[in-house]
Structure 1
Amino acid sequence: MAAVWVGVKGTVKDSPGFSAGRDADGIRKAISGLGTDEASLISILTQRSNAQRQLIVKEYQAACGKELKDDLKGDLSGNFEHLLVSMTLPPAVFDAKQLKKAMKGSGTTESLLTEILASRTSKQMKDVGDAYYTVYGKSLGDEISSETSGDFRKALLFLANARRDESSKVDEPLAKKDAEMLYNAGEKKWGTDEDKFIEVLSLRSLPQLRLTFDAYQNICKKSIEDSIAGEISGHLEDLLLAIVKCARNTAAYFAERLYKSMKGAGTDEYTLTRIMVSRSEIDLLEIRTEFKKLAGYSLYSAIKSDTSGDYGNALLKLCGGDD
């Protein structure tokens, strides 16, 4: 399962000379002493891969008879607690919990559903679906069905059901055919056939989509983004544009999300935490590069000026360096 969640452009890697027993003991001491030793918690949890953290969680449970996440919750608070607890969860469980949170209570957080479902691979979504069922005893698809509606629901279900082609082979004639179909479904007709956009954008592989976007530009003389923005509205528009961004450059999509989470008055710590935790072993190095391009300053400096205390220190460790 781990390989699906680990990329070559992460800032967090397996720690050499790792001992789960030693780390579990270090964490126990950091929590159980008089006052909490936050620095030790940060240096252990942010400098171990998620696979290693899962072993620490097991060791801690065996040694202390309690769940590490419960002890962290009992000892810490606020954003720092949320960050460290998030890091003790397997990635698929973390995503499942985010999706549950997006659909809980009155109203749905569509932007959160969009971010996760637009950016995860089919293999990752299979894991998330399994984790969702294990944790909540309900099917992710059923929950999405009851919490969303219309074409937005239809597109989310395509993505949740992990139906995107993952092969790296591309098919030129298919790209032309899809581009023609999208042109005929949108710009060329009165009214828009959203189904065609949903199917192509949810089912084709990312390299195939990039080819289709080029073909589309040739036929239509405008970008697929411009057409979607002009033809489609609301949550479906946001979702389809997110898929296009991720197909073109996933790291740039997340860089923009991070930039928006810290721009202006107030920081959206929830988004900041989620992206830093979920991308730290996949492509955070690439996201840092894209962030610098977009903002003109480094992700490290943005986090440093926008967060503080133990929460800020832990995020800076995950960030892994300045650019």
Structure 2
Amino acid sequence: MSNSSKNIHGLPTIRHNANFNSQKSAELLQKALEEKNKEQIIQVLCTISNEQRQEVAGKFKTAFGESLSLKVKKALSGDFEELILALLELPEVYDAQQMHKAMAGLGTKESLLIEILVTHSNRQIGELKRAYEHLYGHPLEKDIVGDTSGPFQHLLVSLCNESRDESANTDALKANQAARILFKEGESKKGVNDALFNKVLATENFSQLLLIFNEYQKISGHSIEQAIQKKFSGDHREGFLAVVECVRNRPAFFAKLLQNTTKGFGTRDSDLIRLIVTRAECDLYEIKEQYVKLFDTTLEKAIGGDCSGAYKDGLLTLTEGN
């Protein structure tokens, strides 16, 4: 039995700003929003942490008798407005809004559901569920069950259950046993035991999962990814592969998602905003390192080439960090 001390939080680009004055920031913002001084808005809001932004929003409401978000909606527009509004939301509220948007209307954006549920801690998922119910009047799980089906639905419900072991404890014998069972219930017979794969991938800690994947390779002669590609299909397959990729290298997982937002014709701006805003205080520094390794260019260059104006400047301020 061993204990790995791998830091799951990663290196952020945005930290608590020591030179922060919430009252002064609120006053600067009032003037900047009146004058539509986007450079000043970026300077105030893109260089402080979310907790500090909440303080500014509180001071703003007290001093000027108006919600800061409402003032932003009146003064700004387009992608820059969307970016600033995203920065002003509490992380769990923003996540809840993104989940709801992914399931509302025609079709479901399955990749976003997986992205959020796979990469969040039990605590974050708990906060997200409470925020979701507060915003929409019913549990998140109800919408997941109503909007998805089959094994993919079961995977999402498992991930939503806040039951992942978050220790770094590993057990080589148990890893070998789990790998043998996965092989027996998956590749070595005609059908496949979805529930077993769900249980292992949604509840084991990441260090233990790495051991299980290594044992699986030894037993089967190929990777767990190849087994998943062979035995599963559609959203369920993509969901399992996302879990495996996150376990192996979370920053690389996000680097690929970011590259998808800017490759080809046009930019998927809402996705780009979500990824930069939600990872800036978590692990964006490491994501940037992986981006260079994978794509031989910097994330900053990709943003600079695809975005423009204050929107570009805001994203770059968050990406370069404080």
| TM-score normalised over the length of structure 2 | 0.95
CA contact (8 A) 1:141 1:161 kept: no
Q: Which has the larger displacement, 169-178 or 249-258?
A: 169-178
User: Is 1:117 matched with 2:117?
Assistant: yes
Confirm or deny: 8 A CA contact 2:254 2:287 kept in the other structure: yes
Query: Structure 2 CA distance, aligned partners of 1:185 and 1:66?
Result: 59
- 1:225 Cα shift? 0.6
Deviations 1:271-321 (A, max 9, x none): 111110000000000000000011001111111111111110100001116
Matches within 5 A, 1:266-277: 266-277=266-277
Q: Deviations over 1:126-148 (max 9, x none)?
A: 11111112222211111111111
In structure 2, the residue matched to 1:185 is 185
- State the AA in 1 paired with 2:239: L
More displaced 10-residue stretch of structure 1: 133-142 or 242-251: 133-142
Task: Give RMSD over aligned pairs.
Answer: 1.2
CA deviation after TM superposition for structure 1 residue 8, in Å = 5.0
| Cα separation, 2, equivalents of 1:225 and 1:62 | 53
Distance 2:26 2:9 in 1: 26
Indicate the SS of the match to 1:14: coil
2:15 corresponds to: 13
Q: Which has the higher contact order (CA 8 A, sep 6+)?
A: 2
Percent of aligned pairs with the same amino acid: 38
Whole-angstrom CA distance in 2 between matches of 1:257 and 1:17:
33
SS for the counterpart of 1:241 is helix
How far apart are residue 199 of structure 1 and its match? 0.9
8 A contact 2:165–2:205 mirrored in 1:
yes
Large movers: runs of 4+ above 4 Å: none
- The answer for unaligned runs of 5 or more in structure 1 is 1-5
Normalising by structure 1, report the TM-score: 0.95
Query: Corresponding residue for 1:22?
Result: 24
Query: What is residue 37 of structure 1 aligned with on the other side?
Result: 37
1:142 aligns with 2:154: no
Q: Give 5+ residue unaligned stretches, structure 2.
A: 1-7
For 1:89, the equivalent position in structure 2 comes to 89
Count of paired positions: 314
**For 1:128 and 1:172, how far apart are their aligned partners in 2?**
33
Give the letter for the 1:164 counterpart: R
The aligned residue for residue 197 of structure 2 is 197
Native 8 Å contact 1:228 1:241 kept in 2: yes
Structure 2 match to 1:56:
56
CA distance, structure 2, for counterparts of residue 261 and residue 32 of structure 1: 32
Per the alignment, do residues 192 and 7 of structure 1 end up closer, same or farther by CA in structure 2, a change over 3 Å counting? closer
* Separation of aligned partners in 2, 1:68 and 1:161: 34
- Cα separation, 2, equivalents of 1:310 and 1:222: 48
Q: CA separation in 1, counterparts of 2:53 and 2:41? A: 12
Q: Is 1:312 the counterpart of 2:322 in the alignment?
A: no
Structure 1: distance between partners of 2:73 and 2:207: 42
